[in-house]
Amino acid sequence: MPEARHDVKVGSGLEILCGDGAREGGGQAGRQALSQKRGTCIAAVGVREFHLIILPAPGRAFLTYRHPIARNTATRTYTTPPSSNPTTSTTPTSEMGKEKSDKPAFQLKVPKGTKDWEGKDMVIRDKIFAQITEVFKRHGAVTIDTPVFELKEILSGKYGEDSKLIYDLADQGGELCSLRYDLTVPFARWLAMNSSIQSIKRYHIAKVYRRDQPAMAKGRMREFYQCDFDIAGTYDPMLPDAEIIRITCEIFESLGWQGRYTIKINHRKILDGIFSVCGVPQDKLRTISSAVDKLDKSPWTDVRKEMTEEKGLDPEVADRIGEYVTKKGGRELLETLTKDAKLSTNDSAKAGLADMDLLFTYLSSFDVLDRVSFDMSLARGLDYYTGVIYEVITEGSAPQTATEGQTKAKKEPKKNANGGGEEEDRSNDPSVGVGSVAAGGRYDNLVSMFSGKQQIPCVGISFGVDRIFSITKQRLASSPAASAAIRTNEVDVYIMAFGGKGFDGLLPQRMALAKRLWDADIKAEFSWKVKPKLPQQFKAAEANGVPFAVILGEDELKAGKCKIKEMGLPEGHAEKEGVMVELENLEEEVRTRIAKANASAGNALAGGMSGLSV
């Protein structure tokens, strides 16, 4: 079949690019046709878009492709190979200025690992924020805020193997920046820049970003909130550390998690001492530490395999490590380690064990020792920790017991359905748990990494709000009373009006009453219709869960009265149809009834959040 020849008139303000050297692009079909390099292709650059014209047979079909433009007017003759078979459009060349595309329709969605928050989810999350903030303030903390992105060099070298999860931004005017990975490093940078501050109790609630594989239903996201509490300054050993753990217990108790959480603790110096006496080479300390930290979600056999086969550790050294890191307990474990012949000769281990002994004493004074587990497998992969480290777990933190087959499946996760390189959300993956809901530790040298000279000892903890939310929502779902107590609208009173023939809607009276309630700091609203129907007003109040209705009637107003009705009362209740009250006493009457209703709802919510398993 001979090559087809075509004359194409390109409109004013367009430039023709001819030959095999035409810019490659125009979608998959365009790239395929150009790559064949059989015959000559033509590209027309428009004022607002780049048109890649491919004609496999006589006609006026073309594809579109955006590209910067140059101005010219021309008519050219060119050929295309008869075998070319791009996706085409029947749009005539006279309309080539109109935008067409061979790309699929744009899919409206949020980026992977993120979500929109709304409705009851927002209410639950705000309550979590409020409870955490209340405890922070109770302990004398002040708040700060830092930029959502930092200079890349600020974050570099602080997170060990997790550094690959940092979101790097494009070069903006010569500054290389990254989205913050946590709130701890920015806090240390802030301290280094404000040398006059030598001690502070600080809290910070903000979003952080990690390129981790998400499991949205389990609170594992790429954009998520952290609530941090840190104590900076030089104090007697273990006192600030003990208060951090006390704060942690207060927060989870206030969230209704009584008895449903455990604080795992360990000490970096003890770990370093163990690695030293077991014979771990200095250059493998951090990588082996990172492997040990996986014992909460993988069996020892898998961790040992990673140490020996992937990290290159001598199998005998790995076995010696296993004798220590698989142990957990309380004071009895501390006593056992103190008597250990090998550890007792290591200065780092002895210092760590002395700290832990003092910490246990203080935790007993704070009455929180029963919430703590001395767990030798806890390592915390971040490079900046220097002393006590801890993580908070619940029954939902750990994944289901992984078999070796599940472990292998984790290493080869399923790709998404449209063939992209990204992995699918792993919410249903049994090898993925919620993970720790809070974590932290002591980091005495981080500030000096930025200041060079100034060293301010610090200890702190970070609460993962999205993971706490995930578990809290599961608990509320199993308690209908608690779920019903959550309202997306905080309005307490809906002002209504009704009347018979000639009813004018009583709009001025409704507006005046709304003003009175607002002035009394009572949340109220009314219909924005001049003559609303009573059923529509009740429907609006019920849709938002408004607990009380104040109903105005023409006759009642003349008598200086109105009706107040509690919504949702059962049939047969004495006040099912409402009660008449004096208008002049309405504010006090409403306050009394709201307080009573809130106490009842609060008890239901507390009952729904406490005593429930995850």
pLDDT of residue 199: 95
Mean pLDDT across 360-386: 91
| Residue 47 in tokens | 């004022």
Please give the Cα distance from 238 to 508 (Å, whole number). Answer: 65
- Identify the CA nearest to 289 among candidates 212, 276, 299, 198: 276
What's the one-letter identity of residue 331? Answer: R
Query: For the chain, what percentages of helix, strand and coil (3-state, to nearest 5) are there?
Result: 40, 20, 40
Q: Could you tell me the pLDDT band of residue 208, with boundaries at 50, 70 and 90?
A: very high
- Nearest one of 9, 141, 14 to 71, comparing CA atoms: 14
76 conformational bin, left if phi > 0, alpha if psi -120 to 50, beta if neither = beta
**Nearest alpha carbon to residue 382 among 261, 242, 239, 268:** 268
**Rounded percentage of the chain residues whose pLDDT exceeds 90:** 56
CA-CA distance, 268 to 241, in Å (whole number)?
Answer: 14
pLDDT of residue 294: 87
Lowest average pLDDT, out of 101-115, 143-157, 203-217, 223-237, goes to 101-115
Backbone torsions φ then ψ of 599, nearest 5 degrees? -65, -40
No. of helices (H) and no. of strands (E), the chain: 19, 21
pLDDT at 168: 93
Mean pLDDT rounded to a whole number for the chain? 80
Q: Tell the residue number behind the tokens 């006279």, with chain if given.
A: 94
Among 612, 608, 225, 125, residue whose Cα is nearest residue 394: 612
Give the mean pLDDT of 69-76: 40
CB 24 within 8 A of CB 38: no
| Residue 460 contacts residue 410 (beta carbons within 8 Å) | no
Is the separation of the CB atoms in 456 and 447 below 8 Å?
yes
- pLDDT band (50, 70, 90) for residue 328: very high
Contact 374, 338 (CB under 8 A): no
The CA distance from 121 to 526, in Å, is 25
Helix (H) or strand (E) holding 283: none
The length of the chain in residues reads: 614
> Does pLDDT of 27 surpass 60?
no
Tell me the one-letter amino acid at 313: L
pLDDT above 70: residue 57: no
* Amino acid (1-letter code) at residue 402: A
Q: Can you tell me the distance from the alpha carbon of 475 to that of 482, in angstroms, rounded to the nearest whole number?
A: 9
The residue among 612, 591, 605 whose CA lies nearest residue 131 is 605
Point out the least confidently predicted range of 24-33, 152-161, 241-250: 24-33
Q: Specify which residues 563 forms β-bridges with.
A: 551, 580
| CB 95 within 8 Å of CB 88 | no
Contact 76, 16 (CB under 8 A): yes
Q: Is the separation of the CB atoms in 102 and 27 below 8 Å? A: yes
Structural domains in the chain, CATH included, are: 119-398+432-478 (3.30.930.10), 493-610 (3.40.50.800)
Mean pLDDT, residues 150-172: 87
User: How high is the pLDDT of residue 19?
Assistant: 40
Average pLDDT rounded to a whole number, residues 35-39: 40
Is residue 18 over pLDDT 60?
A: no
Nearest to 463 by CA among 204, 142, 139, 262: 204
Please give the full DSSP string across 344-399, using - where no structure is assigned. Answer: GG-HHHHHHHHHHHHHHHHHHHTT-GGGEEEETT---S-TT--SEEEEEE-TTTSP
Phi, psi dihedrals of residue 530, rounded to the nearest 5°:
-65, -45
Helices (H), ranges, 139-284 = 152-155, 184-193, 239-254, 268-278
How far is CA 104 from each of CA 84, 94, 97, 101, 107, rounded to the nearest angstrom? 21, 24, 20, 8, 8
Both tokens of 591, joined, read: 């306050």
Rounded to two decimals, the pTM is 0.73
CB 396 within 8 A of CB 351: no
Question: Collapsing DSSP states into helix, strand and coil, what is residue 35?
Answer: helix
What percent of the chain stands above pLDDT 70? Answer: 74
Query: Taking residues 400-408, what's their average pLDDT?
Result: 43
Q: Which residue has the higher pLDDT, 583 or 2?
A: 583
Band the pLDDT of 307: cuts 50, 70, 90: very high
For the stretch 454-492, what's the b/e string if a residue is b when 16 or more beta carbons lie within 10 angstroms of its beta carbon? eebbbbbbbbbbbbbbbbbbbbbeebeebbebbeeeebb
240-250 pLDDT, tens digit per residue, is: 999 999 999 99
Q: Is the dihedral of CA 590, 592, 595, 599 positive or negative?
A: negative
Instruction: Give me the pLDDT at residue 29, please.
Output: 44
Residue 168 DSSP code: B
Strand residue runs (E) in 126-254: 142-143, 149-151, 177-179, 200-209, 223-232
